[in-house]
Amino acid sequence: MLYLWIKALHIVAMVCWFAALFYLPRLFVYHAMSEDAVSRERFCTMERKLYRGIMMPAMIATLIFGIWLIVLAPGFLQQGWLHAKLTLVVLLIGYHHVCGAQVKRFARGEPGRSHVFYRWFNEVPVLILLAVVILVVVKPF
């Protein structure tokens, strides 16, 4: 029963993390398109609060519950799909930190990239989510 509770909490934390991963780059799009100081300052505040208040805690909770699941069911480490999933999680953590670096650059007033770049950048977590869900549900190897 404990395993199922931890799994449920892992999924909830992961949904919160992905919601933030989808929304923060969308804020970057709007930030890159903003033309006045008031708008840019507002986006800096929104980005900082989203990153620190939601995205970081959700990532940490996802990782803690995920590690806990592996501790409770270490046999999954013998299966290839989990190795592929964990590789994607490492890439997602990297993406998360790239987003954090961009939040800091915008806060310092440094110019970002074009809004078109951020629109494409926003698609990375979608692809990772798609792959992770397929790996976990289908367990192809």
CB crowding 63-85: b at 16 or more within 10 Å, else e = bebbebbeeeeeeeeeeebbebb
Tokens of 117: 């770049």
**Rounded Cα gap, residues 2 and 125, in angstroms:** 29
85 is in an annotated binding site: yes
Helices (H), 1-141: 2-33, 37-50, 56-72, 80-107, 115-121, 124-138
Nearest to 111 by CA among 31, 48, 45: 31
104 is in an annotated binding site: no
Nearest to 117 by CA among 21, 17, 26: 26
Residue stretches of the annotated binding site: 10, 85
Q: Which residues are annotated as a binding site for heme?
A: 10, 85
